[in-house]
Amino acid sequence: MRAVVGHLIFAVSLALLVGSPAAVSRAGGVPRAEGCAWRANATALTLDGTLRFETLRGRFSEVVDPRSGRFVRRWDVEGLPESSGSDGTAWVQDWSGTVHRLDAPHARRVAATDAWFDRRGWCAPDALGATSTRAVRRSQGGRTFDVVQTLPRGGVPIEIWFDGVSGLPDRTIVRLNEVTRVVRLADWRDVDGTAVPFVRRFEYPEDGDVETLTTETIGSRHVAGAAEFSPPATRNDVRMARGARSTTVPIRIERHKILVDVMLNGHGPFPFVLDTGGHFILTSATARTLGLTVLAPGFVRVHELRIGDAIVRDNLAHRTSYAFARVERGPLPPKAGWLGIELFARFAAIIDPDARTLSLTPLREPAARYAGVRVPLAFDEDAPFVPCRIDGIPGDCMVDTGNAGNTIVEGHWAHAVGLSRRFASGLDAGGGVRVSRAAIDIGAVHLPREIVAAYPLAARGSESTTVEAAILSETLHERYVTAIDYRQGAMWLAPARHRTPLPFNRTGLQLRRRTDGAFDVAFVYARSPASAAGVRAGDRIVAIDGKPARTITPDDLIALDAAPIGTIRTYRVIGGRSNVVRTVHIRNAELLP
């Protein structure tokens, strides 16, 4: 199940009171509903009803101030409670009980557009500081619509489809970070002389998600004040053993992933990936090992999560099945899960690659001072962003310690700012990805020759984003002591002693482990040592320097790729088609000077 919060936080509220549906006129080709402006009083709308997502059912309640666009919405789906709102800046409290604001530039623009719509900007799409194109008549499904493109002041573009007969909004279309949000408004009813859409259907065409809110009762009351729409406090479910104020535990960095040992319900330890770009996730195998009951599709409850002296009670986790290659660690126990925003929303964290430690301090403790360069953090949905520059061009970069590859430059952003041609000459890494070097600035941190993977334009998935300039990877954090403090809205970067970055792949091989322990050759760089040795995609590698593949760890693979120029290794290879076993020698060389 997709986190409901990820979509409904940006959802149009049901504050769409207008005059009688028949009272519609037309001005300048733009539909206009007469008398739709909200009366100047202190009344807020209260709404209650049902929520449906696929086979799941739940209830929601809402309070909306249609004069300002401020709102608060609460819902519960199969025992998974969430809430969201806006007091001028959008915020969310997800099922974990943690809270964060959506204050990245794009998130603020989406919230501004939604507030404009809720204030009935659609009554006259060129009002309230917005700019609009003239209506275009379209036909669909035997109906006619007047379609208007509007850009609210400080917002993102919104496309509004007005019904050609009633003049009321039939749907709105807004581009979010990685998906398009289509809100269909239906079942308009007269309520005390006003027209209200009792059904809001949220569609996300790229991933097929559909969420439906059906209003059952509507009321009104006075607004207590702006604080009524402010976020609640994060649920107090953190306990520190032995009265500790913080805890420091060992970490391992394996193939550019940070792993930390976690105890779950008194069992373990289990190796978890520290992932600022993700959520609290358990693999299906881990959930089965613990005997956890599935509460709703994709969710399980963990009664106690413990990292050193830090304890979190009664936590919900995504239960996800991963391919073997995603979790394997060779001869070591497989990854058990991921620790994401739910951890960082409760604790300030210091990741020290020198000492190989993770320190956690509950955010309820007094604010700390950290070493290094301070970089402001903000959120778009549930991922942290920092202001950055790629080859001198400003953008917003996601901070993702779970990204084990090189820094990703997003295709849509690169195309928009004119960098696509610059990256087109990079090394072909397959799938349209090109690897090269670029200057990256993160606050006052300057990386003049960072390895970047420039991705092509994508229609769906995380690389379809039109918002992100780049995704900063774990390869950055391996060179800096990183402090992350969401309460202070910042991270700090202090150079690690061994800050020399690893070289780019010097063998030319991209390997993927098989369930039998051998490696499939997933990709071979052109004009690389592996290519010169005759290794091809689809081959299998069963031993390296006489060591069986099943005994080779992720760190061993990193060491092989990063070995000095001229290093010769012996690979035992089985042809992908011929099944002929042969021995090849690969001499490391620089592919990306």
Domains of the chain as residue ranges with CATH: 5-229 (2.50.20), 238-362 (2.40.70.10), 373-495 (2.40.70.10), 509-587 (2.30.42.10)
pLDDT tens-digit readout, 276-316: 999 999 999 999 999 998 887 788 999 999 999 999 999 89
User: Closest Cα partner for 210 from 396, 51, 447?
Assistant: 51
Cα–Cα distance measured from residue 57 to residue 69, given in angstroms and rounded to the nearest whole number:
27
Q: Write the DSSP symbol of residue 118.
A: H
Of the given ranges (16-30, 147-161, 511-525, 572-586), which has the lowest mean pLDDT? 16-30
Q: What is the mean pLDDT of residues 156-176?
A: 94
Cα–Cα distance measured from residue 459 to residue 464, given in angstroms and rounded to the nearest whole number:
5
pLDDT of residue 47: 92
Cα–Cα distance measured from residue 253 to residue 231, given in angstroms and rounded to the nearest whole number:
36
Q: Identify the band that residue 4 occupies on the pLDDT scale cut at 50, 70 and 90.
A: very low
pLDDT tens-digit readout, 448-460: 999 999 999 988 8
Cα–Cα distance measured from residue 79 to residue 69, given in angstroms and rounded to the nearest whole number:
28
Answer for the pair 540, 572: CB distance below 8 angstroms, yes or no: no
pLDDT at 16 over 90: no
pLDDT tens-digit readout, 454-481: 999 988 878 889 899 999 988 888 899 9
pLDDT at 504 over 60: yes
- The single-letter code of the amino acid at 220 is S
pLDDT at 42 over 60: no
Compute the half-sphere exposure of residue 542: CA atoms within 13 Å on the CB side of its CA.
11
Mean pLDDT value across the chain: 89
Q: What is the mean pLDDT of residues 239-253?
A: 96
Answer for the pair 473, 256: CB distance below 8 angstroms, yes or no: yes
pLDDT tens-digit readout, 208-235: 889 999 999 998 888 767 788 999 988 8
Residues paired with 476 in a beta bridge:
none
Bridge-based pairing of strands 383-390 and 257-264 is: unpaired
pLDDT tens-digit readout, 393-410: 999 999 999 998 899 999
Residue 402 tokens read as: 């779970």
Of the chain, the percentage scoring pLDDT greater than 70 comes to 92
Place of tokens 């249609």: 66
Q: Identify the band that residue 30 occupies on the pLDDT scale cut at 50, 70 and 90.
A: very low
Give phi and psi for 468, each to the nearest 5. -80, 140
**Looking at per-residue confidence, does 168 or 262 come out higher?**
262
